[in-house]
Structure 1
Amino acid sequence: MIPFVNLQKQRDFYKNEFLEAEKEVLDSGCFIGGPQVDNLEKELVDYIGLPDLQAISCGSGTDAITIALMALGLKPGDEVIVPDFTFIAPAECVALLGGTPRFADINNQTLQIDPESVRSLITDRTVGIIGVDLFGQCAPFEELRRISDKHGLWLLEDAAQAYGAKCGNQTACTLGDISITSFYPTKPLGCYGDGGAMFTRDSQLAEKMRMLANHGSKGHYHHEILGLNSRLDALQAAILRVKLRHLKDELEIRRNNACKYDELFHDSNISHKLGDPIPQTLSPGNESSVAQYTLLAQNREKFIEILKGIEVPYCIHYPAPLSEQKCFREILADKTGNGPVYTPNAHLASTQAISLPVCAFTDVDEIIGRIKNF
């Protein structure tokens, strides 16, 4: 059986490096913070290549969003615009802090947040915008920045799926006032548990986020603000440092795998027999981390039956827009009186989007061969 993400093969490939890194941590007796975490934060910035950027590690990508929102001063009643077609975390964190998520529609080809929809949602209660780099491609941050500057809003980049991606001559994790990423195991750069990081060039925001991630403290038992317990384990940092050394090569393989799929699905004869799936469009100038290889299938059920028959794994991201989730419908009905704005492209994507294996240790040639044989 082909795994959707082949973490075991990746571990086998770097086994000696992992064992050495893990032994170093276990022998050190330093399991939270310490040199491994400090070195990881430095290496994350070095990889991106902006000397004035600061990386602050934390316990998960979701924690990273929460801490970033706290640092940006989100208050109960504030409205934040988020895409309607994505993982729950951005909107969930806004709501948990007492804010109101407002759901923007997406572009029906790139699947990224639609700037025109963002403009239509701005009110006198709007304080910020969260752009999500969905499936590894950067959101349209140049346009989002123009909107945020015009209206005096902060801009948060959720690059949970996109560390290593590029937007023109800029790099993911540098596109917001604060940017975040996730080290969940299946991400292009993932550890063996939960982990995350925040990035900013604002030294005051960086200092505040470090405090927030450590119970609001700069030192032992001196707490200046209320914070969280969200610290990265040294063992996870050591694993990430090994993987980071190989990330450039892995991303190149992911992109080559995506090109192979593109060639397959742009063959109209093959595509028609599969239910006409159309690959997610890559915006000109963007370079994706290809966290997933995602298609829009007009007849998704037919495509799924074919994939099952030839034993090719797939994933559905995401089966319902966030505005249709019960928790948000209740929040919006209570705070706005009329529920969310309808988002036709997000609703359509939730019925059509389907992802195929694409990681550096997936035999994409085998998958393509099975599809062609079908």
Structure 2
Amino acid sequence: MKIDFANLQYQYQRYKKDIDANIQKVLDNSNYIMGEEVQRLERELEKFTQAQHAITCSSGTDALLLALMAIDIQPDDEVITTTFSFIATAETIALMKAQPVFVDIEESTFNIDASKIEAAITSKTKAIMPVSLYGQPADMDEINAIAKKYNLKVIIDGAQSFGATYKEQAEVHHCDVYTTSFFPSKPLGCYGDGGAVFTNNDEYAEKIRMLRVHGQNKRYQHKYIGLGARLDTLQAAVLLAKLPFYAEEVKARQAVAKKYNAGIKIVVATPRVKIDRTSVWAQYTIRTKKREQLQWVLKENGVSTPVHYPLPLHLQECFNYLDVKKGDFPISEQVAKEVLSLPMNAFMNSEVVDVVSRRLLISIDG
């Protein structure tokens, strides 16, 4: 049995009728840029999150850029973030000519360690950007308390966490701006690149809407230097077909994670989800000191196991210009050597989870 990591083809077949009908409507209308599906999707995303504003865009990376531009990050400003994340988190800060300031993570959740943030603040700090890694929110009460104390803005990089909750609310209600990604393998994915920015701030929302269309406030009249960062109408059509089933899929992912926990937590370190929040389990990522051995054996047995992520951001070549070095963030460095992601999607039944768990256990014993 070969076990698909994300099972996108199965998902397509399950919703094929709705997806195909939505795509065909766009083709029939030939309104490929900012068509009516884009506006419909934004209204549905607002309903789903109870956010005042949902603004779709071309990718999760552009969502981060739009958020940073909205809060007016300037060259030489500092933005505090985690060193254990996908490159886009710190990359977008650098693209704004600001400086990413890294903080180490908690071992049990893989998220930024809020207790270490305050020590990283300087007179140049303008914002904190926590990442909801693998689908679980960070310690937002603690982060917001620090932000309030130092008059900082908070942007959540929720590329992996759309649909997660913190204290029974969507994450947008615990920050100035929340961003997410609709990359195909994300819990809610389209069939190309896509993303969205959420906020309850009217001023930010108005600015972001202009920024994503080259800073226009009227056609060919530009208030800001902006981006070409619109979501394609075809991608909006795909997401509109998937969104009605998404809450059910999130519950299914959580059930898969629970089954994994029951089967393997005695032999490997499994993720901890704190009691006051939920995870959408974009990845189910374990820690093991036998990673290469496990990957090889699992691959031979038809189980795909990618690594999210093998090298912390502060050790990436592109950030050599920062005043950081190996050993500065020891937890992230150690975790990066040990993490391994198991297949995770909403369509894994108990039999498939048991197969993966058994093959993992056999790999460890071997």
TM class by shorter-chain length? over 0.9
Aligned AA for 2:277? N
Superposed displacement of residue 339, structure 1: 5.5
CA distance in 2, matches of 1:133, 1:232: 23
- Residue aligning to 2:33: 32
**In the alignment, structure 1 residue 300 sits paired with structure 2 residue 291:** yes
Superposed displacement of residue 297, structure 1: 1.1
- Residue aligning to 2:58: 59
CA distance in 1, matches of 2:246, 2:39: 19
Superposed displacement of residue 365, structure 1: 2.4
Per-residue Cα deviation, 1:298-353 (whole angstroms, up to 9, x for no partner)? 322232233123221111000000000011122x14xxxx6588111111110011
**In the alignment, structure 1 residue 113 sits paired with structure 2 residue 112:** yes
Superposed displacement of residue 172, structure 1: 2.5
**8 Å CA contact retained: 2:184, 2:192:** yes
SS in 1 for 2:85: coil
Within 5 A, what are the aligned runs for 1:6-17?
6-17=7-18
- Residue aligning to 1:315: 306
**Residue number among 271, 277, 291 corresponding to 1:286 in the alignment:** 277
Superposition TM-score, scaled by structure 1 size: 0.93
- Residue aligning to 1:154: 153
- Residue aligning to 2:320: 329
Aligned AA for 2:280? S
- Residue aligning to 2:211: 212
Structure 1: gaps (5+ residues) = 272-276
- Residue aligning to 2:79: 80
SS in 1 for 2:320: helix
SS in 2 for 1:199: strand
CA distance in 2, matches of 1:260, 1:289: 15
Structure 2: gaps (5+ residues) = none
**Residue number among 316, 328, 338 corresponding to 1:352 in the alignment:** 338
Within 5 A, what are the aligned runs for 1:69-148?
69-148=68-147
List structure 1 segments (4+ residues) > 3 angstroms apart after TM superposition. 338-341
**8 Å CA contact retained: 1:44, 1:55:** yes
Root-mean-square deviation (Å) = 1.5
SS in 2 for 1:90: helix
Aligned AA for 2:85? T
Per-residue Cα deviation, 1:151-190 (whole angstroms, up to 9, x for no partner)? 1111001111111101112213332101101000000111
- Residue aligning to 1:274: none
Superposed displacement of residue 12, structure 1: 0.5
- Residue aligning to 1:5: 6
**8 Å CA contact retained: 1:33, 1:232:** yes
Identity of aligned residues (%): 39
Superposed displacement of residue 96, structure 1: 0.9
**8 Å CA contact retained: 2:60, 2:180:** yes
